[in-house]
Amino acid sequence: MTSYIIERLLSVVPVILVVAVAVFFIVHLSPGEPASVILGPNASQGDIEALKTELGHDRPIHEQFFTWIGNTITGDLGESIYAHDSVLSVFSTYFIPTLSLTILAQIIAVLIAIPIGIFAAVRRGSLIDQSLMGFSLLGISVPSFLLGLFFILIFSVQLQWFPVAGFEPLNSGLWTHIKSLILPAIALSLAQAALLVRMTRSSMLEVLPNSYIKTARSKGLKEQTVIYKHALRNAFVVILEIIGQTFSSLIAGAVVIEFVFNIPGLGQLIVNSVERRDFPVIQGTVLLIAVAYVFINLIIDLLYGVVDPRVRLGRKKEG
Amino acid sequence: MKVKKILFIIFILVISAVSLVACSDTDATNDNEATEGAEGKGKTEIRIAYDTIPPTLDPHMSTATGTFDFATQIFEPLFAIDSKYNPQPMLAESHMVSEDGKTITITLRQGVTFHNGDEMRAEDVVASMKRWQEISVLGRGHLGDASFEANGDYEVILQLAEPNPLIINTLSNPQQFAAIMPKEVIESATADGVTEYIGTGPYMVEEWVDTQSLHLKKYEDYVALDTPSDGLSGTKKASVDDIYIDIVTDETIRFSGLQTGEYDIAMRLSYDNAEQMKSDSSIKTFVEPFGFQGLFFNKREGIFADNTARKAVNATLNMEEILTAAYVSEEYYVANHSIVTPDQELWYSDAGSDQYNQKDPEKAKKLLEEFGYNGEEVTILASREYPAHYQAALVIQSQLEDIGMNINLEVYDWATLLEHREDPGAWDIFISGFNFEPLPTDAVYLHSKNEYAGWSESAEIDRLVEEIQQSESQEEASQLFSELQAEVWDYLPFILFGHHKPLIAMQSNIEGFEVDYSMVLWNIEKQ
Amino acid sequence: MEQIVKETNFQSLQKEMKAAQRKLAIRRMLRNKLAMTGFLILLIAMIITVTAPFITAHDPLQAEPLERLQAPSAEHLFGTDNLGRDLFSRVIYGIQESMIVGFSVTFVTALLGIIIGLYSAYYSGLDHVLMRINDGLMAFPSILLAIAIMAVLGPRTENVVIALSIVYTPLVARVVRSSTLTIKEQTYIEALRSIGARSMRIIWGHIAPNMISPLIVQATFIFAMAIINEAMLSFLGAGIPAPNPSLGNILYDGKNVITTAWWMTVFPGIAIILITLGLNMFGDGLRDILDPHSKKGK
């Protein structure tokens, strides 16, 4: 087990390196640089060049890369050019709304999806099952940002139940904070829920005919107990897998949803930083997201190993 | 049973995350209650929804609108403009110019204190002015070899290499303005700006959250002038205790925040909301000319290196159409040819207006023929970050296509456009806008030495700009400026479409809000 | 000599089996309502793509500032946008743009994915390098990667195709690679190798044909994701360059006037949903038909 963990940990290193190299060169090869943004529209080219030199952005690109990667390895992601604050602290400020949004969306998705998935599996082939599957297909087909726009149209513009954008930060109260995130979280969760319904249903279908379920039934346990106690447990592993696999797509969805609802989260941080060419922030944020993604998958892989020793070296090589 | 373990681990993780969130939450709520308790009654506050993110609050650093709009409330210069854009003393008491015009002695006001409590002295002024001279566009352009020196605590001597009768106008320029800050703040500044925002203005920075919000607090020890308030000069009342400026880049949200009463003032709203505002008696609007918009030619490479080709474009343009696309209705634009506003009485002139808004496609086609246009592709750059630029570009495209030009419209984000426009091989026209310059010759796009994108090469324009700087009297300067404006409309380094008026709206109980180049918040009263 | 005979015999047998399978698949397909409905929607979208100039009365780029933001009417079926352009024409041309981008991305992705997947499964040295790059690319949230690539390349339609292809190729490569790994172990491939058949021939003549059905299923989902992501990119202002009509561009313009002009959000929105729904139904149906044993869901 230990050697497996070490092997998996080592396999993460090249992935993160690829991400680091890619993000650095993407950022530095794109046109536009912070000096001209800082100086504003009336600056002349001479002023821009002078500031570029002062900021050290005129050094050869490989030199800048090695400085950055060197600092990054020691845990120093640098400082935002604009905020006079470390990238890490800027990141954590903007991460809270995104995290709240993602967690809330995930919870809503699980709450909707698991019961529906089980229900559909139990009533396999019935009209209800078919229409539920139809709805879930629809759910997968509606991009979350579009759903967000439709929600604004319906609930804010027509019914006026919610303000067009009423984001409340965490420090104005947990409940107020969550309440202000409900609409965007629902928009974000529906596609996720649709996916989970299908996963739950198919994994339930796999285990329901199994011998131990039959045994449980024959022992005279109630049908509900059989389903919830025995079958659901197995479905849970699948859910775990989905949470890991969809983490990056949820974050990606959150980025766009934040843009729709004007929530100051990672999406806004990235959009603002790209607009102002805040190089250290873009690099640091993308790298941190990628690292989080890789590690969440790693943890899920390891948990798999705990659940089922057979998967340890075989199938998860690819993950 | 291992599944149970996992369930347990997840349960723990969720619980700890929730409790973490909950803990930080209770702390914050307590803080809020504490401050509310301390404030008590009688305190007034206003909330403003602001439209763009300032790159910095350091006025020496940036020419951006966001920067001077915010910094003007916090910092003060030696001289500030009045509502006619003429210089008046602010932190300076008076100034004297020597016989040869090269030595300017500036006497400072006594008893003016910074937000940190220290009195402003000559050494602070010298340190600030030296930094401004080094890093600002105007400082570098006009004070190249000049020196500042302290003479005692309340006198600063500015030694110029050449006489410059208009130097006080330049020092009062409100854009990248010559703010006075404490010497220590200047000394600890880094390449990307000062690290503390300490000025002498009527409001001090309580909290600045980059890209999010600025909380300004009334500076209790502010020493006001006794001259009447006029533009950015004169007395400043500061009758509101707290000003919260939220940066809300989405115009829909600025507007809905104003409707719900969350904001007292909303800056630069979409003209599409104007009708809704008119029918709402609790909201009033503030609409005044702010600047101009125009297209800038690439005079170094491509077909517009030739004056005839530029004249063909100018002959074509129908300004009402362009301005309507950009600013919706005549309420929000003035079809005017001048780079200064009619309010700048000392400068305003009709010269060049005969060349403006010709809408004569037949004449344009003849000029194109004369030039020998052969279907060369014309690349127009515009940014969607400024919807008015982009909307104007679309109309210009269709007008130029009507006279047979081959147009390629490229739309970028603003930072990318800034980079592309420095490459003479990449474009022919870009769309931009400018504020009115209090001293028109300070405009970066006039003199060729500024190397402003588009690269003018007109000896005549350069000569006139220099002569205006050196003119002995305002009459002479005004006369020369009139010639300059005629020359601009003949050489056509750019074509101006007209003046625009941003739509600012506020609750009807707000009085005293002004925009004189930058926002003026110190005379606001909430009824 | 004998070896060649054996091989041809085997091949002709394989071909017959394939033909029979295909017939069966087509028959199943015709009976599958889901797939047929999806196919019908796609067919309509394709017809719109081809006939766009004939079914629109207005130029989608012609701005009429004086007729801005008009509600749907007989003259303008879907109303006009914030520059007074006819929204019906813009949505029709937007569908065209989406379909072209979706198709191009799917084509490029399938081609690159199959090459990378096959070769990295076949040569383990190559595998290490390619799969690490693959993992690296997949560790980016897809939309962020696409935004970043667009920032480098600049806003052009071709670049949207390039950016989305870079995002999705790793996905296809991974699917191809893992099925190749399974097929590689099968006895007849082992046999071919042992009789000295050339690698090129094994890869393209024997392994690749087996990829076709999973690849077709995968392709329909890539098509749907490409359309969604193109819309998202353009909605964020980093996709198809304005003023070209694209469904995402219309939504971008519509967002600023959402309180006054619902039609600018609703019509392009419904168009996106219908196309992706059609693709997903078609893909789901196809999977049931071509690969009846696979799990539902993605």
Q: Which two tokens stand for residue B259?
A: 């409707």
Probe site for chain B from A36, A44, A167, A273 (most B CB atoms < 10 A): A44
Q: Within an 8 Å CB–CB cutoff, is residue B212 touching chain A? A: yes
Q: Within an 8 Å CB–CB cutoff, is residue C270 touching chain B? A: no
Q: Within an 8 Å CB–CB cutoff, is residue A301 touching chain B? A: no
* Residue with the larger pLDDT of the pair C152 and B390: B390
* Residue with the larger pLDDT of the pair A52 and C99: C99
List subunits contacting chain B, requiring 3 or more Cβ pairs under 8 Å.
A, C
Could you tell me which chain C residue has the CA closest to the CA of B322? C65
SS3 content of chain B, % helix, strand, coil (to 5): 35, 25, 40
A64 Cβ contact list (under 8 Å, min separation 6)? A28, A56, A57
Residue A11 pLDDT > 90: no
- CA pair distance C202, C211, nearest whole angstrom: 13
Question: Does residue C279 sit within a domain?
Answer: yes
Q: Which residue has the tokens 């019906």?
A: C88
Tell me how many domains chain A contains.
Answer: 2
Of the pLDDT bands very low, low, confident and very high (cuts 50, 70, 90), residue B189 is: very high
Q: How far is A57 from chain C (nearest CA, A)?
A: 17
- CA pair distance A178, A122, nearest whole angstrom: 34
- CA pair distance A11, B329, nearest whole angstrom: 62
Asked whether residue A176 falls in the same domain as residue A249, the answer is yes
Q: How far is C261 from chain A (nearest CA, A)?
A: 10
Asked whether residue A30 falls in the same domain as residue A179, the answer is no
Closest residue to C272, CB basis, from A143, A201, A203 = A143
Structural domain that includes position C113: 21-290
pLDDT at position A48 is 83
Neighbours of C57 (CB within 10 A): 10
pLDDT at position B35 is 42
Question: Does residue A85 sit within a domain?
Answer: no
CATH number of the domain to which A151 belongs: 1.10.3720.10
Question: Does residue A146 sit within a domain?
Answer: yes
Least confident window among A69-78, A246-255, B165-174, B428-437: A246-255
CB environment C22-56: b (16+ within 10 A), e (fewer):
eeeeeebbeebebbeebbebbeebeebbeebeeeb
The reply to whether residue A16 touches residue C139, judged by beta carbons under 8 angstroms, is yes
What is the percentage of chain B residues whose pLDDT exceeds 70?
Answer: 92
Please identify, among A11, A43, A73, the residue that sits at the C-terminal boundary of a domain.
Answer: A73
Q: B67 to chain A: which residues are within 8 Å by CB?
A: 40
Encoded amino acid at C26, one letter: I
Tell me how many domains chain C contains.
Answer: 1
Question: Does residue A241 sit within a domain?
Answer: yes
- CA pair distance B343, B83, nearest whole angstrom: 8
CATH number of the domain to which C146 belongs: 1.10.3720.10
Q: Which residues pair with B434 in a beta bridge?
A: B292
Q: How far is A175 from chain B (nearest CA, A)?
A: 10
pLDDT at position B26 is 39
Residue A143 pLDDT > 50: yes
Question: Does residue C15 sit within a domain?
Answer: no
* Residue A200 · residue A235 · CB < 8 Å: yes
Q: B21 to chain A: which residues are within 8 Å by CB?
A: 100, 170, 174
Encoded amino acid at B523, one letter: N
pLDDT at position B393 is 93
Probe site for chain A from B170, B192, B246, B517 (most A CB atoms < 10 A): B192
Strand-pair category, B514-516 with B406-412:
unpaired
Question: Does residue A79 sit within a domain?
Answer: no
pLDDT at position B18 is 43
Neighbours of A7 (CB within 10 A): 11
- CA pair distance A200, C175, nearest whole angstrom: 22
Least confident window among B15-29, B245-259, C155-169: B15-29
Q: DSSP letter string over A18-42?
A: HHHHHHHHHHHHSS--HHHHHH-TT
Q: Within an 8 Å CB–CB cutoff, is residue B268 touching chain C? A: no
Q: Within an 8 Å CB–CB cutoff, is residue B110 touching chain A? A: no
Q: Within an 8 Å CB–CB cutoff, is residue A36 touching chain B? A: yes
Q: DSSP letter string over B97-114?
A: E-TTS-EEEEEEPSS-B-
Closest residue to A259, CB basis, from C152, C236, C272 = C236
Q: How far is B30 from chain A (nearest CA, A)?
A: 9
Selection from A202-216, A225-239, C158-172 with the highest mean pLDDT: C158-172
Rounded (10°) angle between helices B474-491 and B459-470: 170
pLDDT digits (tens, 9 = 90+) for B342-384: 989 999 999 999 999 999 999 999 999 999 999 999 999 998 8
Question: Does residue A217 sit within a domain?
Answer: yes
List subunits contacting chain A, requiring 3 or more Cβ pairs under 8 Å.
B, C
Q: B61 to chain A: which residues are within 8 Å by CB?
A: 38-39
The reply to whether residue B411 touches residue C69, judged by beta carbons under 8 angstroms, is no
C142 Cβ contact list (under 8 Å, min separation 6)? A248, A249, A252, C167, C168, C229
The reply to whether residue C83 touches residue B273, judged by beta carbons under 8 angstroms, is no
Question: Does residue A82 sit within a domain?
Answer: no
pLDDT at position C240 is 87
The reply to whether residue B384 touches residue C237, judged by beta carbons under 8 angstroms, is yes
pLDDT at position A167 is 79
Q: How far is A290 from chain C (nearest CA, A)?
A: 5
- CA pair distance B104, B124, nearest whole angstrom: 18
What sign results for the dihedral spanned by CA atoms B143, B144, B150, B153?
positive
The reply to whether residue C260 touches residue B273, judged by beta carbons under 8 angstroms, is yes
Q: How far is B290 from chain A (nearest CA, A)?
A: 15
pLDDT at position C48 is 92
Closest residue to C281, CB basis, from A137, A290, A294 = A137
Probe site for chain C from A25, A145, A255 (most C CB atoms < 10 A): A145
Residue B132 pLDDT > 50: yes
Q: Within an 8 Å CB–CB cutoff, is residue A44 touching chain B? A: yes
Structural domain that includes position A130: 92-318
Question: Does residue C151 sit within a domain?
Answer: yes
Question: Does residue C10 sit within a domain?
Answer: no
Neighbours of A310 (CB within 10 A): 10
The reply to whether residue B451 touches residue A55, judged by beta carbons under 8 angstroms, is no
The reply to whether residue B270 touches residue C69, judged by beta carbons under 8 angstroms, is no
Strand-pair category, B333-334 with B494-500:
antiparallel
Q: Which residue has the tokens 């002015």?
A: B129
Question: Does residue C13 sit within a domain?
Answer: no
The reply to whether residue C63 touches residue B251, judged by beta carbons under 8 angstroms, is no
Could you tell me which chain B residue has the CA closest to the CA of A302? B6
Closest residue to A82, CB basis, from B24, B55, B418 = B55
Q: C231 to chain A: which residues are within 8 Å by CB?
A: 143, 146
* Residue with the larger pLDDT of the pair B435 and A2: B435
The reply to whether residue C152 touches residue A143, judged by beta carbons under 8 angstroms, is no
The reply to whether residue C139 touches residue A248, judged by beta carbons under 8 angstroms, is yes
Of the pLDDT bands very low, low, confident and very high (cuts 50, 70, 90), residue A211 is: low
The reply to whether residue B210 touches residue A47, judged by beta carbons under 8 angstroms, is no
Asked whether residue A58 falls in the same domain as residue A207, the answer is no
Closest residue to B251, CB basis, from C63, C243, C256 = C256
Cα→Cα distances B447→B15, B306, B451, B464, Å: 66, 19, 8, 9
The reply to whether residue B6 touches residue A84, judged by beta carbons under 8 angstroms, is no
Probe site for chain C from B252, B385, B408 (most C CB atoms < 10 A): B252
- Print pLDDT tens along chain C (298 aa): 444 555 556 667 667 777 777 777 677 767 777 888 899 999 999 999 999 888 888 888 887 777 888 889 988 889 998 888 899 999 999 999 999 999 999 999 999 999 998 888 888 788 878 887 887 787 777 787 888 788 778 788 899 999 999 989 998 998 888 888 888 777 777 788 778 778 778 888 778 887 887 888 889 989 999 999 999 999 988 888 878 889 999 999 898 888 888 999 999 999 999 999 999 999 888 887 776 554 443 3
Q: Across chain A, what does the average pLDDT equal? A: 81
Residue A10 pLDDT > 90: no
- The three-point CA angle B283-B284-B289 to 5° equals 145
Half-sphere exposure for C256 (CA within 13 Å, toward CB): 24
pLDDT at position A83 is 83
pLDDT digits (tens, 9 = 90+) for B210-221: 888 999 999 999
Domain architecture of chain B: domains with CATH: 49-252+504-526 (3.40.190.10), 291-500 (3.10.105.10)
Q: Is A262 helix (H, G, I), strand (E, B) or coil?
A: coil
Residue positions counted in chain B: 527
Question: Does residue C136 sit within a domain?
Answer: yes
- CA pair distance C215, C223, nearest whole angstrom: 12
pLDDT at position A212 is 64
- CA pair distance B463, B405, nearest whole angstrom: 34
Least confident window among A158-162, B307-311, B497-501: A158-162
Partner B, chain A 114-153, Cβ-Cβ below 8 Å:
none
Question: Does residue C9 sit within a domain?
Answer: no
Residue positions counted in chain C: 298
Least confident window among B238-247, B396-405, C145-154: C145-154
Question: Does residue C110 sit within a domain?
Answer: yes
- CA pair distance B190, A80, nearest whole angstrom: 13
Asked whether residue A183 falls in the same domain as residue A221, the answer is yes
Question: Does residue A87 sit within a domain?
Answer: no
Q: How far is C83 from chain B (nearest CA, A)?
A: 7
pTM summary value? 0.82
Asked whether residue A181 falls in the same domain as residue A248, the answer is yes
Q: Within an 8 Å CB–CB cutoff, is residue A236 touching chain B? A: yes
* Residue A268 · residue A258 · CB < 8 Å: yes
Strand-pair category, B45-50 with B242-247:
parallel
Rounded (10°) angle between helices B2-39 and A232-261: 30
Q: B176 to chain A: which residues are within 8 Å by CB?
A: 40, 42
Could you tell me which chain A residue has the CA closest to the CA of C129? A14
pLDDT at position B51 is 92
pLDDT at position A234 is 66
Q: Across chain B, what does the average pLDDT equal? A: 89
* Residue B216 · residue B238 · CB < 8 Å: no
Size of interface A-B (CB pairs under 8 A): 153
Of the pLDDT bands very low, low, confident and very high (cuts 50, 70, 90), residue B232 is: very high
Q: Give the H or E element holding residue B242.
A: strand B242-247
Neighbours of C269 (CB within 10 A): 24
Q: Which two tokens stand for residue C157?
A: 């339609």
Probe site for chain A from C135, C222, C233, C252 (most A CB atoms < 10 A): C135
Asked whether residue A29 falls in the same domain as residue A139, the answer is no
The reply to whether residue B256 touches residue C258, judged by beta carbons under 8 angstroms, is no
pLDDT at position B483 is 96
pLDDT at position C21 is 73
pLDDT at position A1 is 64
pLDDT at position C295 is 43
